Amino acid sequence: MTIEEKQQEISAEFADIEDWLDRYAMIIDLGNQLPPIDDSLKTPDRLIEGCQSRVWLDAEVDAEGKVRYTADSDAIIVKGIISMLITVLDGHTPAEILDARLHFIDDIGLGEHLSPTRANGLLAMVKQMRLYALAFRARQQH
C-alpha cells in the first residue's frame, strides 16, 4: 500500500466514528497494537524533543532500502498517535516519506482535538521521522 492509500484507510476508519471519546478509544487501541520496542532502544538519544510525554523512536533501513520504524511512549494517547504515524510511513523509501503530505491527521480532526503541548509533540514526532528518512536518503546517495 502507498502512503496515500494508508492515510485514506485511516481516514475511512475514523469517518464512521462521530464521538471524540470513541475516537480516543480507537487511538488507544491502535497504541496497544504497536509492537513493543526493545528496552535497549529506550535511550536518551532516541527520545523525541518537544513531546510532553516520553516518546522513543528508532529507525533503520532494511535490505530493500525501506525505512522501518519502532517506537514507544509512556502516554497511551501518544502511543496511539505514533502508532498511526508508523502505520502510514513504515516500509517506505526515504524519498517517499520525505515527499508525503500527511493529511490524515487533519482529515480525522486530530489536530484540533489535541492540547497545544500534544499538538507540538505530534509535530515533533513527524519531524523526527522525516529526519531519519533524510539521513537515510543522504546515506543512500553516497
Place of cell 513527524: 126
What are the start-end ranges of the E strands in the chain?
55-61, 67-73
Count of residues for the chain? 142
Q: Where are the alpha helices (DSSP H) in the chain?
A: 3-15, 20-32, 76-89, 94-99, 104-107, 116-141
**CA–CA gap between residue 56 and residue 89 (Å, rounded):** 16
Residues 29, 40 contacting (CB under 8 angstroms): no
25 is a catalytic site residue: no
Which candidate in 10, 51, 71, 86 is catalytic? 51
Catalytic sites, residue numbers: 51
